[in-house]
Amino acid sequence: MQEKYPQARTAAGSDRKDDRQDGRQPDRQAGNQTGRQAVRQSDRQAGRKEQTPSQGALLDQSTWAAPKKSLGQHFLRNPDICQRIADLALPHDEDQILEIGPGPGALTKVLERMPHAHLLLLEKDSHWARVRSEEGGPRTEVRCMDALQFPWEELEGAWKVVGNLPYNVASPLIWDIAARCHALERAVFMVQKEVGQRLAARPGTKDYGALSVWVQAHLVPHLDFVVKPGAFLPPPKVDSAVLSFVPRPLAERPVEAHRLARVLKICFQQRRKQLGGLLRKSGETALLARLEALGLPLTARPEELSVTDFLNLSETSPAASSRE
């Protein structure tokens, strides 16, 4: 499926490039460095036995399959965390809920007990898709597919989207959902803590980047709580964070989202450069003129501009002049 915003994931990648320069590890690397071998090694060093499903709440030994490193699987096993995530979705009897990556179903089973009209599960792993189909209730539908390939534009009505997202796809997946899921009413996602901090970051902070601006141009994020590695099997090497999102009013969202994606790609490839020099060097005379017309200082750096500044900078329609 062709991407609607071709610059989108490239712009998000510029954040990861800056991470390497800062000595931080991007979320994809963090996901790839985990797995059963790493768990065994850390357990041996700490004098612990290797964890098994029988030692973790909500994990069924009879249907167990080892987590796949290639899919970045870290299965949530703490019932209290599952309940807190489900509660943040604010479920009601008429709700349509979509869960991404249910795996062994720890969160799914909590959602099935809560008010809802329809529960749609997207699971890429064929084993867990089969198990969820066999164990699911009458209001549960399972699709064995990659959430990155899901046609978010085709959802009808109002939907709440939840999930414990694999570290290696969380950023591009939330980027897509923010822009393409027009039926979104509310979302609750668990991601790597560092990614969560970027999603909710404010201008002028080290975590503020292309991902922050893009997501906040479409949604209002709130970092709700942090989850320690012990809540998962196998435990990741970093903390996780749970965030909730609600859509921004239509009048505040990008009028020309493809232009915003392009501007973010240009600006955040060199986020510490002054915008005046950066745009001149890139030959972006139209953007430079727009920057001056908006009264934004040429000495400002990309990380200093607000979401509204980027929206105004990227748009040429009359709607841009109404933003404050």
* Residues in binding site for S-adenosyl-L-methionine: 74, 76, 101, 123, 146, 164
The answer to whether the beta carbons of residues 123 and 101 sit under 8 Å apart is yes
Binding-site residues: 74, 76, 101, 123, 146, 164
Per-residue CA distances from 220 to 167, 215, 239 (Å): 21, 8, 22
Q: What burial class does residue 286 get, using C-beta atoms within 10 Å of its C-beta: 0-12 exposed, 13-18 middle, 19+ buried?
A: exposed
Whole-number Å distance between alpha carbons of 28 and 188: 20
Whole-number Å distance between alpha carbons of 205 and 199: 12
Per DSSP bridges, beta strands 184-192 and 240-247 are antiparallel
Cα 264 vs. chain centroid, distance in angstroms? 17
Angle at 228 between CA 224 and CA 230, to 5 degrees: 140
Whole-number Å distance between alpha carbons of 234 and 155: 33
Alpha carbons within 13 A on the beta-carbon side of 260: 27
Q: For residue 289, what are the contacts with CB-CB under 8 A and spacing of at least 6?
A: none
Neighbours of 229 (CB within 10 A): 16
Angle at 69 between CA 22 and CA 76, to 5 degrees: 90
**Which residues is 72 bridged to in the sheet?**
none
Q: How many residues does the chain have?
A: 324
Whole-number Å distance between alpha carbons of 179 and 248: 11
Whole-number Å distance between alpha carbons of 29 and 27: 5
Neighbours of 177 (CB within 10 A): 23
